[in-house]
Amino acid sequence: MNRFRTKVAAALIAICALTTVAIAQAAPGDTLGVSTTTQRIVPDSSAGFNFLATGPGEGYTVRDGSESGTALGAALSGRENRRTSISYFGQLTDFQLADEESPLRVEFLDPQGGAFTSSWRPGEALNPQEEDAMIRQFNAFSAKPPHAAKGGVKPKMDFVVNTGDISDNNQYNEALWNLQLIEGQTVNPGSGVDPASSIGNHPLCPNGMNVLNAADPSAYTGVQDRDEWPTPTMGYFWDPDEPNPTPVPANPNFVNPFADWPGYPGLMDRAQRPFKATGLKVPAYQVFGNHDGLVQGNAWGSNIFNQIATGCLKPINDDSANSGRSSNPLLNFVLNPNFTAEDFLDIRTGEPKYFMEVPPDPDRRLLSKKEHMNLYRSTGKDSGHGFNFVDKAEKTASSGFASYYSFSPRPGVRYVSLDTTSEGGTVLVSDKGNLDDPQFKWLEATIKKATANNELVVLFSHHAPGSMTADVIDEKAPGCSTVDPAEVPGCDGDPRDSAPIHLGNDTVDMLLGYPNVIAWVAGHSHVNNVTSFAAPDGKSGFWSIRTSALADWPKQNRLIEIFDNRDGNLSIFGTVIDHAAKVDAPADGTSAANLSTDELASLSRVIGYNENQNGAEACGSEKCGEGEAEDRNVELLIKDPRKKKANVNKVTVSPKKRSLKAGKKFKLTVKVSNFITATADAKNVKVAVKSSNKRVKVSKKTIKKIQPGKTATVKIPVRALRTAKGKSKITITVAGKKAVANIKVIKAKKKRR
């Protein structure tokens, strides 16, 4: 990528030093509360498999968009002494938490490479523990932002948003584990139950099976345990019990990408054990990714996929050089929407070695989008992790399937969460994204309303504009009125016509017509990338911010801060963070039986670096996923598109209750605030005061000026006439905001003559 890199001059470095909230230098290997501005995680100098160490941190690259031909804003000097906080939030993305024991996994495709290189990851069993470590990191930064506002004010984190692919395979148990992780509940990342009740009753648990680990379903059962394979030797999949086996029979073409990898006896069983999750300290919102709504992020959830997920037959295959078998027979059922359980059993009859007989689990069932949202709404939280914000009209029109929403955690900024899942589910096409027409129209209407309200707009989605290329209508999946949704969870439940489908280009063209849209935050591509989009006339634009995945190297997510520089420009800071597990991973040969949750997360990071297909070294000279310096720690400038407007957002009165003798008087204290996101002083603010008791007298006031982020205080005289009695409700009204004080009048004593 040949992009202009803005050089940070010494003066700007000094500014960052003054304005960045200081974080004490971490001890070697510590990561908790430490961002990549302080230290970066780098490989050690060993040959072959690399363990990890820490290196120097990386400062902020200041960007104004001019590298793309049009400057979106200007970096004016002194802004660090003027800026006020508009919002501060965290972006989690692309956990792809996988039930790695599920029969619906397609690990058998991974040896083919190409489009299938993400079908299996050697460290995926450690995803839950790694996600918990990232949640701990966000908690550490929740009250410790990378930057302070004017006067050293440290804004607190408003929320954390997960921009999709929290699950890997659209299964109920995967979605549940993620919910338990953010809620701080006990997570049991293993799956599989006693098969006795399923044998002979489930279509894919036929009689006569010899189910592996039937007596102990909690033990790991899957492709990374060589002892469970139906052939003498498995080589392609990393088995931490024995990373470098001797082929039996001898095979000079034996494929083993992990021959020099370390071993951790018992790791796969250890990864299945329950643990108490940390839970997020701030509100958490969710956005749908393709893996959250489609089988393996590609296909709509059919009856056969649902049966495979909950059944006892796990399709497997080694590299063809090891097994002597092509994976094409197994690929056929992935690509054929008319495939049946009988077809599946026919493959097993012809070649039993294509299958592993595993404990079933009904909790592996596929989820419809409505069921997924209801699961996250079930916690009792007002937001339903975002899904209670779905517009009522959209919810009704979609029969409850609309999953896009907007919210405003503080006045002056509007966040819009999109669902870019290509619900038509065409394999190798629908992994990319789109917007159906009803959502596209809702999006534009929402932005119009936000603009009228003088709000800044930030979009969240799983796919960024460049990844929205799936020109597939939702109706490619069967309508829910034509099938049983309990059996076919991936049916199209929205009765509205999805066409015309809107892709990245026309969505960007629409957004560029609304200057109040300043940023689009996404994931999906598993890479740190920041790109500016400018309107043809140069009068508006926005920043596209993509963040790398927790599923792949560099195992990072991002903190985002939005500041008003009070000079006609905004600064959007993006700060990349590693998860909170220590850098030092357990040594080769360590028994996994007593490894802590933190050690498992640390090991997952090391595995991610060394992974042969998606690891750091798989992309040649550039490390996969990291992006360039200008994609990581950044200050992004953009013109403030808002009109000059005050934002009187709060009025309080004290005392709220008071007794007052007839014939006496006192003063109420009224405080009026002009919110921090206001773009102008509030001038000549009228404080209207009304008493419900005619014998309790009050008077109005006018406040000459309230600066943004400031609060003005006025005293309101309250006088009870000697003839007053009873109660009085004093109502203070300022710019439509009200506060109430209740006065109880005490009868005056008669004077003696």
The residue extents of the domains of the chain are 195-242+251-362, 648-746
Confidence (pLDDT) at 3 = 36
Question: Confidence band (pLDDT; 50, 70, 90) for 750?
Answer: low
Confidence (pLDDT) at 747 = 87
* Other beta carbons within 10 Å of 260: 12
Confidence (pLDDT) at 13 = 37
For helices 127-141 and 172-183, the axis angle rounded to 10 degrees is: 30
Contacts of 201 (CB under 8 A, 6+ apart): none
Contacts of 116 (CB under 8 A, 6+ apart): 106, 109, 110
How far apart CA 93 and CA 576 sit, in angstroms, is 12
- 648-746, CATH topology level: Immunoglobulin-like (2.60.40)
Confidence (pLDDT) at 752 = 64
What is the tens place of the pLDDT at every residue in 318-351?
999 999 999 999 998 888 888 999 999 999 999 9
Confidence (pLDDT) at 116 = 87
Q: Across residues 500-513, what is the average pLDDT? A: 97
Tokens (6 digits) for 628: 């360039």
Q: Across residues 553-582, what is the average pLDDT? A: 97
Backbone angles phi, psi at 703, to 5 degrees: -100, 125
Q: Across residues 26-42, what is the average pLDDT? A: 88
Confidence (pLDDT) at 7 = 36
Res. 389: pLDDT tops 60 = yes
Res. 250: pLDDT tops 80 = yes
Confidence (pLDDT) at 18 = 39
Confidence (pLDDT) at 700 = 94
Res. 519: pLDDT tops 90 = yes
Res. 46: pLDDT tops 90 = no
Res. 706: pLDDT tops 80 = yes
Confidence (pLDDT) at 274 = 98
Question: Confidence band (pLDDT; 50, 70, 90) for 47?
Answer: confident
- Location of structure tokens 């027409």: 437
Res. 5: pLDDT tops 50 = no
What is the tens place of the pLDDT at every residue in 143-156?
999 999 999 999 99
**What is the number of helices (H) and of strands (E) in the chain?**
14, 28
- Are 680 and 706 a contacting pair, CB within 8 Å? no
Question: Confidence band (pLDDT; 50, 70, 90) for 751?
Answer: low
Confidence (pLDDT) at 27 = 60
Confidence (pLDDT) at 337 = 85
Confidence (pLDDT) at 753 = 59
Confidence (pLDDT) at 19 = 41
User: For a pLDDT cut of 70, what percent of the chain falls above it?
Assistant: 96
Nearest CA to 686 out of 700, 675, 698 is that of: 700
Strand-pairing partners, residue 521, are 460, 545
Which range (4-8, 267-271, 549-553, 732-736) has the least confidence? 4-8
Question: Confidence band (pLDDT; 50, 70, 90) for 4?
Answer: very low
**Whole-number average pLDDT of the chain:** 94
Nearest CA to 308 out of 236, 365, 373 is that of: 365
Res. 201: pLDDT tops 50 = yes
